[in-house]
Structure 1
Amino acid sequence: MILLPVLRRIIGLNGGIRMSHPDRAGSLQKAHGDLENSAGYRRILSLFDEGSFNEVDAYAKSGDGFAEAVAGSGTVDGCPACAFCQNPDVARGAMSKAQASKIKKIYQLALKAGVPLVGIYDSAGGRLDEGADMLAAYGEVLLAANSLSGVVPQISVVLGPCVGTGAVVAAGADVVVMSPKGELTISTEGGDGSPAAAEKLGVCQFAASDEKEALRTAKKLVSMLPSNNVSGAPLFNAVPAKTRTAAGASAREIIASVCDAG
């Protein structure tokens, strides 16, 4: 598959960190290792094929901790793809400059490689302590998402709260999948963002029975959709229908059947 080596070249990951202080590097790796047991990592690893995930900006910091999202690339049922996952176990997945930078980078990677982008949403909102910088972070993510529109498939998986500007980003994807705990609404003051309401509004295309089914649906979509706007859709062996003429019918009877009596 051509896209996979291209994706690997773009990433250019070396698998480790380079620091002038080995002790500091060791403590940082240990702290990050503890983070790998969080919901964000568990979800994104369940999306990708085992052993294929390459993380982007693994040690990105936000405040006194790590960034509130996990992002990277790999294969999904053998198909190259990129994804990010907001991590509710880190500052409740709140949007920050660091998270926006990570998400923006993975959007750019998906665009360059021409592969699908999956966004997994579960966030309490934005980091208010960042003030105007937090608002700018949302703007950067919106711009990055818009640059992918019509170029590569975008799939949103809403597994928790996704409100305000975050909901605008998620709803702008080509396909939206929601779990029962998902909440997708522009209103931050008690709007009905349930999967049922989102389906009724035409925002949610797939309402899953649980989180695992939601992620399985995203995996299936990645394997079914074309990778980008210049690749063809998958081809399947087609069996032509038997050649047969339609049964004869009276034109008068057809017209009478659609008209009022008399």
Structure 2
Amino acid sequence: MTTEVTTPTDRTADRIADLERRRAQAVAPGGPRRRGEFGARERIERLLDAGSFTETGQFVRTRPTGDGARRPYGDGVVTGHGTVDGRPVCVFAQDAGVFGGSMGEAFGEKTVALMDLALKTGCPVIGLNDSGGARIQEGVASLALYAELVRRNVQASGVIPQISVVLGPCAGGAAYSPSITDFTVMVDGASHMFVTGPDVIETVTGERTTAEDLGGARTSNSVSGNAHFLAAHEEDALDTVRDLLSYLPANNLERPPEYAPGTAPAGSCWTKSCPTGWGGLTTWATSCGPSSTTVSSSRCRSCSRRTSSAPSPAWRAARSGSSPTSRCTPPASSTSTPRRRPRGSYGSATRSALRC
């Protein structure tokens, strides 16, 4: 009779293979996506500097219930830290493909731990929200984590920048946190934020409404005031966040970034008014870097006309290769510190006097 001898090297190799298998399961797409949407990890990759993301809580799962229910790694939220233009940030992205992006116990604990990390290190926190609210199957444990999350939002207010990006329907408890962060970005036609949906309102009050009228991106920007920026598409929303961060200090102990004048790349940025001639400027065409590469996003509060196009690969290459001090320049007559204009927001007539 022979006995197979297992060496420590063999055991180590098996453990590494098991780790890689679990890691592959953790990063696999959570489920089908809506048309034109990125996955949670893709959103983070497009937001942060290339290769800078470090994930936290990758193998966290919800506690077993004994009924054989699915327990995916990550529990429906991707959390971690990385950099934007070389500056550290904390970020979480809710995955609507896993339990509809609903918050369970493990989901909430990961998000709260990330908020604690951001407060401890003094860096901005960015939430990419796409959630159906509380995971009712987990009972009060899920609801309690919303209280912990909102508590962190309050503690962080005025200490570190908090930015929420609503990239899908956020209902119920999922609408609370984005509404009280410092800045909220929503995507036109894709983002919705409300406590109760149209069906519930019709059942209780008899009033018929739509998700867009109740808490759509335009309603939240122009009526309720729950949002501050309106983006044409997801790519525009993520670019808006990157632009916004360039204005902000990392925390309340730092000064905001400063940009040296006279170092703008070839080409310039400009604004133009709505073709209907309305005076309030919310429509613009933008060109950065070489004049042949343009980005356009048009919107008018008067006529509601809108056209948009995604940034070209050439423009993105030029943008990623330039430093924060070389992107913007004020008009020749201006003596103010040059800054970039966040694209996708409702603007004012004063924007016509600015260049990017």
Q: Same fold (TM over 0.5)?
A: yes
Pick from 190, 193, 200: which aligns with 1:184? 193
Look up the equivalent residue of 2:219 and give its one-letter code.
A
Counterpart residue number, 2:116: 108
Sort the Cα spacing of 1:76 and 1:132 in 2 relative to 1 into closer, same or farther, 3 A: same
Q: Runs of 5+ in structure 2 lacking a partner?
A: 1-11, 32-37, 64-70, 202-210, 262-333, 337-356
Counterpart residue number, 1:46: 46
Look up the equivalent residue of 1:216 and give its one-letter code.
D
CA contact (8 A) 2:171 2:196 kept: yes
Instruction: Write the mapping of 1:143-182 to structure 2, written as runs, cut at 5 A.
Output: 143-180=151-188, 181-182=190-191
CA contact (8 A) 1:36 1:42 kept: no
CA contact (8 A) 1:79 1:222 kept: no
Residues of 2 paired with 1:40 and 1:131: CA distance?
25
Sort the Cα spacing of 1:217 and 1:30 in 2 relative to 1 into closer, same or farther, 3 A: same
Deviations, residues 182-234 of structure 1 (Å, cap 9, x unaligned): 11112243561101110122111111011110111011112221111111122
Counterpart residue number, 2:89: 81
Sort the Cα spacing of 1:225 and 1:28 in 2 relative to 1 into closer, same or farther, 3 A: same
Sort the Cα spacing of 1:155 and 1:60 in 2 relative to 1 into closer, same or farther, 3 A: same
Sort the Cα spacing of 1:21 and 1:208 in 2 relative to 1 into closer, same or farther, 3 A: same
Deviations, residues 7-64 of structure 1 (Å, cap 9, x unaligned): xxxxxxxxxxx99955643431231242489711111111110000011111111351
Cα RMSD, aligned residues only = 2.4
Instruction: Write the mapping of 1:81-100 to structure 2, written as runs, cut at 5 A.
Output: 81-100=89-108
Counterpart residue number, 2:240: 217
- Say which SS state the counterpart of residue 147 (structure 1) adopts: helix
CA contact (8 A) 2:184 2:226 kept: yes
Q: Which has the higher helix share?
A: 1
Larger relative contact order (CA 8 Å, sep ≥ 6): 1
Pick from 66, 72, 76: which aligns with 1:65? 72
Shift of 1:134: 1.1
Matched, 1:195 2:233: no
Matched, 1:205 2:233: no
Residues of 2 paired with 1:90 and 1:161: CA distance?
14
Residues of 1 paired with 2:240 and 2:118: CA distance?
20
Q: Percent identity?
A: 33
What TM-score, normalized by structure 2, do the two folds share? 0.59
Look up the equivalent residue of 2:170 and give its one-letter code.
C
- Say which SS state the counterpart of residue 132 (structure 2) adopts: coil
Q: Runs of 5+ in structure 1 lacking a partner?
A: 1-17, 242-262
Residues of 1 paired with 2:257 and 2:15: CA distance?
50
Shift of 1:143: 1.3
Look up the equivalent residue of 2:244 and give its one-letter code.
L
CA contact (8 A) 2:30 2:98 kept: no
Residues of 2 paired with 1:89 and 1:155: CA distance?
23
Look up the equivalent residue of 2:230 and give its one-letter code.
A
